[in-house]
Copies of this chain bind each other. A is one copy, B any other.
């Protein structure tokens, strides 16, 4: 089932070319005055058509609330449902196109499960378009979290081998914290989500080059949350890493998730990786650095939560590919038509923020969220 979350239920629905897509958000506390302008601005970051690296599908992605807000536009405690209309719902003439699964897409597994009943237009429920309701749901959570001092940000840590500067989140001294603050502020001004403008330019060049060659590239998204309360999550399979990774792997194209030092930790010694404790200004024990990524024993420490996602290269490429014609059961050459993002990672940045926000808010509500009214 497309529902996730334990105290905050997220049920996404829709297919690429269905009448509408949307989401039910259940368990959202009452009292948030929804800022629809900020919501629109957030959706615009995920929307297609922003540059040479995105598709041209021109849909407004306007979020229409069906229920859950009261007459004053505040959340009412009831389930929130919203829809985003699919203005482009031409179901392609697939009879003509035949039945040739696109490599590294879900076509083959979908046909195996649902046969010709599968709503294959645009990839059906596997389409990246389904990240739009995820983004909108997450945008509401971001507003709720911001009122409680939790900030979420993400950037492209790497695309096509070009690396951005990392978040200044490994050390926890005041100077580094202030550097992190300005990084977050910088990101808010960027059209292309990198900390270094030069890295951003190089990434765009690499994406454009791949596109020209009928190819695509992958990337790594680094997401972070500051102001995360300590004491969220539970041991073992309900740990923060478990709950977060489960939600993050629900984003199409994500093939890896790591927290804190992540795979890098595997190459460290304990003396380097361990985060020593010190007393902070309030005379409380606090880690001095943060290779743990803000989580120990499955529970948040209060340090920034740091997670990185591996995003695979777009599977839809213009170059001819080998596949199989499932109707005639013979090998076939496939040329994927239509315009596709040559790199999905830039648009995955706000989606990663959204899913991080959804899970963080869920984790806070699981702990009873005294400030959630």
Contact = CB atoms under 8 A, between A and B. Distances in A.
A140 to B, nearest CB: 15
A203 interface: no
B158 A22 contact: no
A101 interface: yes
A146 B4 CA distance: 31
A323 B70 CA distance: 25
Given A81-B22, A368-B367, A2 B235 contact: yes
Interface in A44-92: 64-71, 74-81, 83, 91
Contact of A15 (B4, B31, B76, B231): B76
A117 B370 contact: no
B113 A299 contact: yes
Interface string A218-259: 111000000000110011111101110111011010111111
Interface in A100-116: 101, 103-106, 108-110, 112-115
Contact of A67 (B15, B74, B160, B276): B15
Interface in A1-60: 1-5, 9-15, 18-22, 24, 26-27, 30-31
B31 A277 contact: no
A274 B108 CA distance: 13
Nearest to A251: B236
A216 interface: yes
Interface in A248-275: 249-250, 252, 254-275
Number of copies: 4
B287 A158 contact: no
B237 A4 contact: yes
A130 interface: yes
Given A117-B77, A269-B217, A109 B242 contact: no
Nearest to A32: B117
A22 B64 CA distance: 14
Contacts of A165: none
Nearest to A91: B71
26 contacts: A15-B68, A22-B81, A30-B113, A30-B117, A31-B114, A77-B113, A101-B277, A109-B300, A112-B231, A115-B373, A130-B236, A158-B266, A216-B271, A217-B270, A218-B267, A218-B268, A218-B273, A237-B249, A242-B249, A242-B250, A245-B257, A255-B265, A266-B345, A273-B312, A277-B322, A279-B329
Interface of A: 1-5, 9-15, 18-22, 24, 26-27, 30-31, 64-71, 74-81, 83, 91, 101, 103-106, 108-110, 112-115, 117-119, 121, 124-126, 130, 158, 160-161, 210, 215-220, 230-231, 234-239, 241-243, 245-247, 249-250, 252, 254-279, 283, 285, 287-288, 291-293, 296-301, 310-317, 319, 321-324, 326, 329-331, 345, 367-370, 373
Q: Which 9 A-B pairs have the closest CB atoms?
A: A368-B368, A106-B297, A256-B258, A18-B67, A216-B270, A30-B117, A4-B237, A237-B250, A276-B322
Given A2-B9, A4-B237, 18 more contacts: A13-B66, A15-B78, A20-B67, A31-B117, A74-B117, A77-B113, A78-B119, A79-B125, A104-B270, A104-B275, A109-B297, A218-B273, A237-B247, A257-B257, A261-B312, A277-B323, A279-B330, A285-B324
